[in-house]
Amino acid sequence: MLLNTITEGNFSNKRALVRVDFNVPVKDGVVGDDTRIKAALPTITYLLDHGASVVVMSHYGRPKGKKNPDFSMAPIATRFAELLGRPVKLASDVIGSAVAEEVKALKAGDVLLLENVRFYAEEEANDPSFAKSLAAYGDVYVNDAFGTAHRAHASTEGVAHYLPSYAGFLIEKEVKFMAPLLENPEKPFVAIIGGSKVSSKIGVLESLSKTCQCVVIGGGMAYTFLLEMGHTIGSSLVEEEYRQTAASFLKAAKERGVKVILPVDHLCGRTFSEEAEAILVDGPDIPDGLIGMDIGPKTIALIVEELSGAKSVVWNGPMGVFEFAAFAEGTLDVAKALAKSDAVTVVGGGDSVAAINKFNLADQISHVSTGGGASLEFLEGKTLPGIKALEK
C-alpha cells in the first residue's frame, strides 16, 4: 500500500486543507485529554515550516447535522493554539461567504480552524457540493485523521476528488505499522484478540489468522469458544448465535496450522460488579453461579511464553474486565509482556489502547494506534475510504 505523503509535496505559498481528528473530551469549556491534538502537530508544523497557510477541519461529538454551541470547536481552538505555539483563528462557520473571506485573508504561516464539520448533515452524507465547498479552501488536501479514515465523509474522502491529496505523518505511520501485519509480517507473528463479543471481533480473527502463527483469544468472547469446545462457562457472557462461527474459525485455524490459545484458567466473580471478589478457577471449566471476568495465571504464563519468541505482535481488545481492579491482572500482564518484547508491537482498538495508557506503557510499544473503529476495520482487511483516497 503506497500513499502520497506530505514529504513529496510542495507547499510554499499554498493553502493546505488538513483533516485532523480533534474529537477530544471537553468539560466546562476545557479540553480534558489533548492526545489527539498533539498527534496532529507534526504534520501541521511541517506544512507551516514549508511555507503553507493551513485550514484545519475536524468533527467534535455528535451534533447530528445541526449547529449546536455545545459542540463548538472554540475550546479546542484554544488548546490547539497553546500546543502549536502560535495563534489559531476559529472560523465563523464551516462553509459560506464569511468563511471564504477568512480563508482568503490567510498568509503563509497562518492557521484557521473551521467550525465543527458535522454542523452540516452533508458532511456525513459525503455530499459532493459540500465537499467541493470545502475543497475551495485549499490548493492541496492533507488527511491526518486516521480515526475517521473508515468513514466516507465529505472531509475525509469527498474533498480528495477535487485536490491533490496527501497522507499526513500520523496516517503514514498507522499504515506503515499495520499494513505489513496483513501482507507480510515478520514471523513468528502472534495476534492477541480480546474484548467482549465474538460478533465484533470475528472479522479481525479471520483476517489475522491468514498471516499469523498463533492467535490468543481472551476477554468475554473467549467463553463462546470454550462453550462450543464442550467446556462449562457458568454464567459467563456467551453469544449462542456465534457458536457455529467459533467452531468454523477453530476448524479453519487448525487446517492452516495456526495455534489457538484460549483460557485454561480464570478469575471469576459471583456478580458482574467492581465489588465482586476475584475467585480463581484452576481449570478451563467454570462452575455454575460464577462469571468469567479475567484470564488466570496459567493462561497469562502461556501468553507470556508465546510472546517471548515473537517477532511481530498485534493486540486488539483486553483480556478481562480491566476497569475493575480485581480483574485487571490479565490485561496488565499482557501489556507488560508486550512492553518488554523485542518484537514489533502494535496495539489497536479503543479498550486495549486505554489499557496501555492506563498502565503508562505506551512509550514501550512500537505503535499505539489512534483509531478505534478504523484500526479494527483495517485489521479486518477492509478498504478504508479515507486511506484509499490517498493511495498512489
Residues assigned a catalytic role = 36, 197, 350, 373
Neighbours of 172 (CB within 10 A): 20
Give me 11's grid cell. Answer: 507547499
Q: Which three cell numbers stand for residue 85?
A: 505555539
Helix or strand run (H / E) with residue 74:
helix 74-84
Please name which of 327, 250, 236 lies closest in space to residue 285, comparing C-alpha atoms.
236
Closest Cα to residue 117, out of 41, 21, 15? 21
Query: In terms of Cα–Cα distance, which of 239, 238, 237 is closest to 321?
Result: 237
What's the angle, vertex CA 228, arms to CA 226 and CA 234, rounded to 5? 55
CA distances from 73 to 53, 80, 297 (A): 19, 10, 46
Placement of cell 480552524 in the chain? 113
Please answer whether residues 62 and 49 qualify as being in contact, where contact means their C-beta atoms are separated by less than 8 angstroms: no
CB of 141 within 8 A of CB of 134? no
Sign of CA dihedral 246, 272, 354, 338: negative
Q: Which three cell numbers stand for residue 54?
A: 493551513
Distance (Å, rounded) from C-alpha 251 to C-alpha 284?
Answer: 20
Smallest CA-to-CA distance from 244 within 228, 264, 257, 263 is with 228
| Alpha carbon distances (Å) from 369 to 200, 210, 314 | 18, 21, 11
Rounded to whole angstroms, the Cα distance separating 60 from 255 reads 46
Q: Pick left, alpha or beta for residue 314 (phi over 0 → left; psi -120 to 50 → alpha; otherwise beta).
A: beta
Please choose, from the candidates 326, 194, 220, the residue with its C-alpha nearest in 3D space to the C-alpha of residue 269.
326
Give the single-character DSSP code of 242.
G
CA geometry: angle 62, 68, 69, nearest 5 deg: 115
